[in-house]
Amino acid sequence: MKAFLLELKFRNETLFSFGLVCLVFALVFLLMTRISQTQLYQVNAWYKPFKFAFSTFLFAWAMAWYCHYLPSFNVQVFNWVVIILLGFEIVYITWKASQGQPSHFNISSPFHSMMFSMMAFAATVVTIYTAYIGILFFIQDIPDLPTNYLWGIRLGIVIFVIFAFEGFLMGSRMSHSVGLENDNSHLLIVGWSRKVGDLRVSHFIGMHALQVLPVLSFYVLRSSKAVLLTGVLYGALATFTLLQAVKGKPFWPERIEKEIKEIPHQ
């Protein structure tokens, strides 16, 4: 682990430091879920800034690692776009959580409408920039990378971009759930609804292809064909959960837990 951290810092000290700050804040926010009783949409309000900070930490470190492979790319511009825009999102989400008020889907005043639009703009710019980096991985010559690993990075970025833009679907509905308005459950930390469809499931699965597929391609999958097949199956899983949510069906229904509890113990 120490060798990995030193290598990551060497590759991109700026995003390494930003990701580390996000990780520290994520841990603080997780602690706040045990201290604060502030509720929002049926769950502790501090889970949302925790999820965004932790997700940003994973994104920052992943992109810091991948961008180092590109022979021609101005990484410092990308670094500061990520820090300014995603940092803005985390600060605003944290502020609203401290007030027990929603950050997303909040158009209760002109100010809140403007901030919601600015968050959408920030996420869009970062996603488009990441898509551009994905294109570079297709068109630039990177001979030192194993082909299977290169395809893992390519597919991870492609699936990430597709399902990052799913945020527009949630924004257009002004809700992350289908069947109830912004329903949450106490399902671990993710809080996905167990009563109705939840668009965050596919959003989560798809966006974390950015980490999952490159790691699998480097450590597990030894051929490009295996990486391509895994990428297709992974994308199919994200798509299936999206269609499931659109139909109003929960990913992990409450009835499953009830059925498990009703199984007689021998």
Domain carrying residue 54: 1-144
Q: Are residues 118 and 245 in the same domain?
A: no
Owner of token pair 């950015």: 210
Residue from 62, 29, 74 nearest 48 by CA: 29
Q: For residue 266, is it within any domain? A: no
Q: Are residues 201 and 246 in the same domain?
A: yes
Q: Are residues 74 and 176 in the same domain?
A: no
Q: For residue 21, is it within any domain? A: yes
Q: pTM of the predicted model, to two decimals? A: 0.94
Number of folded domains that form the chain: 2
Q: So what's the pLDDT on residue 48?
A: 97
Q: Are residues 176 and 122 in the same domain?
A: no
Backbone angles phi, psi at 43, to 5 degrees: -135, 170
Owner of token pair 């509890």: 261
Q: Are residues 199 and 243 in the same domain?
A: yes
Q: So what's the pLDDT on residue 187?
A: 86
Q: For residue 92, is it within any domain? A: yes
Q: So what's the pLDDT on residue 1?
A: 87
Q: Are residues 114 and 8 in the same domain?
A: yes
User: Can you tell me whether residue 178 is helix, strand or coil?
Assistant: strand
CB 253 within 8 A of CB 192: no
Q: For residue 167, is it within any domain? A: no
Q: Are residues 84 and 194 in the same domain?
A: no
Tell me the pLDDT of the chain (266 aa) as tens digits. 899 999 999 999 999 999 999 999 999 999 999 999 999 988 999 999 999 999 999 999 999 999 999 999 999 999 999 999 999 999 999 999 999 999 999 999 999 999 999 999 999 999 999 999 999 999 999 988 999 999 999 999 999 999 999 999 999 999 999 999 999 998 888 999 999 999 999 999 999 999 999 999 999 999 999 999 999 999 999 999 999 999 999 999 986 555 544 554 44
Q: Are residues 122 and 232 in the same domain?
A: no
Q: Are residues 31 and 70 in the same domain?
A: yes
Q: Are residues 1 and 130 in the same domain?
A: yes
Q: For residue 118, is it within any domain? A: yes
* Of 104, 126, 144, the domain-final residue: 144
Backbone angles phi, psi at 12, to 5 degrees: -160, 90
All residues at 6 or more sequence positions from 249 whose CB lies less than 8 Å from its CB, including other chains: 196, 197
Q: So what's the pLDDT on residue 257?
A: 53
Q: Rounded to whole angstroms, how far apart are CA atoms 234 and 232?
A: 5
Q: Are residues 18 and 113 in the same domain?
A: yes
Q: So what's the pLDDT on residue 69?
A: 97
Whole-number Cα distances in Å, 110 to 59, 113, 123, 167: 31, 5, 20, 21
- Kindly report, residue by residue over 93-128, the tens digit of the pLDDT: 999 999 999 999 999 999 999 999 999 999 999 999
Q: For residue 152, is it within any domain? A: no
Q: Rounded to whole angstroms, how far apart are CA atoms 62 and 84?
A: 17
Q: Are residues 131 and 202 in the same domain?
A: no
Q: For residue 64, is it within any domain? A: yes
Q: For residue 157, is it within any domain? A: no
